[in-house]
């Protein structure tokens, strides 16, 4: 029988950036190549995106099982497969859907995998199971999707979380349609993809942010109007950008949005305005009366399903959606780059390339 690369390299360890302690830099160390279960694939990682949410995990200590290899935006090449895997073969270019779901519960059956009742007990790559800040990553084959050949690895990795979360929010939760007045609050990794998906649907898109460079990029990606949150009256600016009507749908990608963001959204809604909350809010103190009298609604949107990911990859391939990758680093630069992301210095996604 032919020897696989892994068998040849069995003695060789691989390098990974591990999260040991809350608020501390990741530790780069060597691990043994993991043994594959019957339904696993071993991925030789090519790119792993650094998601803003990860910094919150490091800073706030939301993970219980430590140490762990972080990194949930993963793309790479199948290096080896478990004996029961028939869906993928060695050499396939793949992207990972990070949240393992059961496939059987009511929500999975309806294509709402991210609401799966087994979410808390299944391996979640980069959260409760080792993720992609490593040369190799072991993933259940059910969580691995092929990447169209037109999409490079670095772009594909960012689609695994930032792209998918934005796609699900805009297309599924928001159901954005032609001529909708859409506000994208927050122009980080998710916002940059949300702007593009909303434009593709034919919406009038207004992007709100604080960083000049990021707002410039939002315009390059198709935003019709930009609002500088620190300098302008947000609700007045939204009314001006919508011929006085106000926003039909507002997406908040702002991490830990407080009363100010919520009030700005409320004050700038058209009647029947819908808010889709994606970034986690702080505890809020807001008046909900307009929800009743003006028919507003508020809904959350979390990640996206595997079907969404497959759909989105096709859409990205066919519609020339632009990559949000702004910086490529080596594994050794990861702590330094996370510091730059914390300071908001990188307009776009930073990815670790292998
Ligand atoms: Zn993420
Ligand atoms: Zn399920």
Could you say which residues of the chain have pLDDT below 70?
A: 1-12
**C-alpha of residue 292 to centroid of ligand 1, in Å:** 33
The residues whose Cβ lies within 5 A of ligand 1, an ion, are: 51, 53, 161
Ligand nearest to the CA of 55: 1
Long-range contacts of 323-327 (CB under 8 A, 24+ apart): 323/152, 323/154, 323/155, 323/158, 323/349, 324/158, 324/162, 324/163, 324/189, 324/192, 324/193, 324/348, 324/349, 325/49, 325/154, 325/155, 325/158, 325/349, 325/350, 325/351, 326/350, 327/351
> Please, what's the b/e burial string for 231-257 (b: 16 or more CB within 10 A of its CB; e: otherwise)?
eeebbebbbebbeebbbbbbbbbbbeb
Structure confidence at residue 1 (pLDDT):
47
pLDDT of the residue at 2:
53
Distance CA 27, CA 171 (A): 38
What residues have their beta carbon closer than 5 A to ion ligand 2?
A: 101-102, 105, 108, 116
**Which regions of 107-238 does DSSP assign to beta strands (E)?**
136-140, 144-146, 181-185, 204-209, 225-228
Nearest 10 degrees: Cα torsion 289, 295, 301, 306: 160
For 123-148, write each residue's pLDDT tens digit: 999 999 999 999 999 999 999 999 99
DSSP-assigned beta bridge partners for residue 277:
252, 300
Please give the Cα distance from 215 to 223 (Å, whole number): 9
What separation in Å is there between the alpha carbon of 140 and the centre of ligand 2?
15
Query: Phi and psi at residue 125, in whole multiples of 5°?
Result: -70, 125
Global confidence as pTM: 0.94
């Amino acid at each position: 029988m032919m020897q696989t690369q892994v068998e040849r390299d069995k003695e060789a360890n691989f390098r990974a950036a591990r999260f040991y302690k809350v608020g501390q830099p990741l530790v780069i160390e060597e691990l043994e190549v993991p043994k594959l279960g019957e339904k696993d694939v071993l991925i030789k990682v090519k790119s792993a995106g650094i998601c803003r949410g990860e910094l919150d995990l490091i800073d706030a200590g939301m993970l219980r099982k430590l140490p762990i290899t972080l990194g949930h935006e993963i793309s790479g090449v199948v290096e080896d497969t478990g004996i029961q895997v028939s869906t993928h073969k060695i050499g396939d270019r793949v992207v990972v859907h990070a949240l393992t779901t059961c496939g059987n519960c009511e929500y999975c059956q309806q294509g709402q995998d991210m609401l799966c009742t087994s979410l808390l007990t299944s391996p979640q790559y980069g959260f409760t199971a080792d993720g992609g800040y490593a040369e190799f990553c072991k993933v259940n084959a059910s969580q691995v999707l092929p990447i169209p050949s037109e999409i490079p690895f670095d772009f594909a990795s960012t689609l695994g979380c930032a792209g998918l979360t934005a796609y699900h929010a805009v297309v599924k939760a928001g159901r954005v349609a032609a001529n909708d007045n859409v506000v994208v609050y927050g122009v980080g990794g998710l916002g940059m993809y949300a702007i593009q998906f909303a434009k593709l649907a034919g919406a009038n898109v207004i992007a709100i942010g604080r960083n000049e460079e990021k707002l410039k990029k939002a315009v390059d990606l198709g935003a019709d109007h930009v609002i500088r949150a620190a300098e302008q009256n947000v609700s007045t600016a939204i009314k001006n950008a919508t011929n006085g009507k106000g926003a039909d749908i507002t997406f908040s990608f702002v991490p830990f949005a407080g009363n100010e963001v919520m009030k700005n959204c409320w004050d700038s809604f058209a009647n029947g305005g819908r808010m889709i909350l994606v970034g986690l809010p702080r505890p809020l103190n807001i008046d909900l009366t307009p929800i009743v009298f003006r028919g507003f609604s508020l809904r959350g949107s979390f990640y996206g399903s595997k079907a969404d990911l497959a759909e989105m990859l096709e859409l990205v391939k066919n519609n020339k959606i632009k990559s949000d990758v702004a910086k490529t680093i080596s594994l050794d630069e990861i702590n330094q780059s996370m510091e730059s992301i914390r300071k908001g210095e990188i307009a776009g996604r930073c990815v670790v390339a292998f």
